[in-house]
Amino acid sequence: MTLTKVAKQIFDNVTQGSAFFDMLIKSPNGFKTVSSLGDRASIPILHTLADMHVFSGADELQTAQPDTHTRAFYDWRSAAIPITITGEDQDKNSGEEALFNLLDERFTVAKLTAPELFNKRLLQGDANNDDANSLATAWIDPTLGRSFIDPLFKFLKLAPATGVVGAIDPALTGNSYWQNGVSDMAADSTFAAQDTALDLAWITAKRSPLGPPNMHLVDENTFIWYKKVRRSFFQENQFTRIDIPWENVAFHGAPVIPDQFMPNVSDDDTVLAATEGSWAMLNTHTFQLQVKADKNFSVMGPLQPTKQEATIWYLIWRGAFVCGNRRKNHVLHGIDITVAS
């Protein structure tokens, strides 16, 4: 192992250790490196906001642009993973080869840790700290009080007109395009009603450019329920996408993928309930992971902390998770997975 290879290995682990990040990175424009950050991360509004005028002959052409937002803006976030070897560690692993192996082990742990931390905090937000906190709030470092990347459910809210997102207020007149879709399935008490609700949500999400949802994230209980619905009620074969490394069942051709960190959207927490399944219909073409080119888990160190017998390295990450079209994404909640017919 060389430290120059660590950055790519950890980034690969992050993207390959999460179904969402994996699908995002494989989407056109899903990942972007930037050499200069600027004040904030931004992404064009991926929605039909422009107008078209019809003219004939020498008619004067219109030049006025739509009086609306053309970009969404997001704060940059920074994170660091520490790798520490104490003087005692060095004494217990004397010799160049032993010390090298110890360092390799510590970096291996970091490579295994980073994917879980990124995925959990993307899906659970600050509820990952405490279930009393919101899924829509970025995870807050309990030591430093700093916020991590914006979580997925900041863009997929149960009340989509609330809260400024990407420097755009979805509640203002003319900004309804900046609201995600939402369906409460708590009253759907039969397989047929539940299936209709899923189809209606899919139809809503597929409207306008960029196509239908190309992936679906569900909690593990909802995944088992959905397989049961297709198998026992509709007597359908379990079609799957074999070109992705994730267990899945197809819905309108897109994979339905269970994630252990998918939260309970109804209760805005991480505690799953049998009558509160959650389903996110996602269009990864509307999201982007932006990363500072030289801060994608780059290695800083070795450093000698003051008054400590230790050597420390930091894996530094700086970037932002952004969205350019909330309307193309839909969240369903309150799914009763105990329904039997």
Here the CATH number for the domain that contains residue 12 is 3.90.1690
- Whether 268 maps to a domain, the answer reads yes
Is residue 184 within 8 A of residue 242, CB to CB? The reply is no
Residue 193: half-sphere exposure toward Cβ, Cα within 13 Å: 14
Angle of helix 19-26 relative to helix 3-16, nearest 10 degrees, comes to: 100
Only one residue has tokens 């399944």, namely 277
* Radius of gyration of the chain measured on its C-alpha atoms: 23
By the 10 Å C-beta count (0-12 exposed, 13-18 middle, 19+ buried), 91 is classed as: exposed
Q: What pLDDT score does 301 carry?
A: 87
Structure tokens at 200: 């209606």
Host domain of residue 38 = 3-47+72-335
Strand partners, 34: 292
d(CA 79, CA 204): 37
Only one residue has tokens 């002959």, namely 57
* Structural domains in the chain (count): 1
Show pLDDT as tens, one digit a residue, over the chain (341 residues).
566 677 788 888 888 889 999 999 999 999 999 999 999 999 998 876 567 778 888 988 877 666 567 899 999 999 999 989 898 988 888 787 887 888 888 888 888 888 888 999 999 999 999 989 999 999 999 999 999 999 999 999 999 999 999 999 999 998 999 999 999 999 999 988 999 999 999 999 999 888 999 999 999 999 999 988 876 666 555 567 778 889 999 999 999 999 999 999 999 999 999 999 999 999 999 999 999 999 999 989 889 989 899 999 999 999 999 999 999 999 999 999 998 88
- Whether 67 maps to a domain, the answer reads no
- Whether 341 maps to a domain, the answer reads no
Which DSSP string corresponds to 151-162? PHHHHS-SSTTS
Structure tokens at 6: 């660590």
- Whether 66 maps to a domain, the answer reads no
Structure tokens at 269: 């927490």
Q: What pLDDT score does 65 carry?
A: 64
d(CA 286, CA 150): 15
- Whether 93 maps to a domain, the answer reads yes
d(CA 318, CA 295): 6
Q: What pLDDT score does 67 carry?
A: 55
By the 10 Å C-beta count (0-12 exposed, 13-18 middle, 19+ buried), 139 is classed as: buried
Strand residue runs (E) in the chain = 31-34, 41-44, 71-74, 77-86, 181-184, 215-218, 249-251, 254-258, 277-282, 287-303, 310-323, 330-335
**pTM of the prediction?**
0.91
Q: What pLDDT score does 261 carry?
A: 96
- Whether 57 maps to a domain, the answer reads no
User: Helices H, strands E: what count in the chain?
Assistant: 7, 12
Strand partners, 41: 74
- Whether 55 maps to a domain, the answer reads no
- Whether 182 maps to a domain, the answer reads yes
Q: What pLDDT score does 95 carry?
A: 80
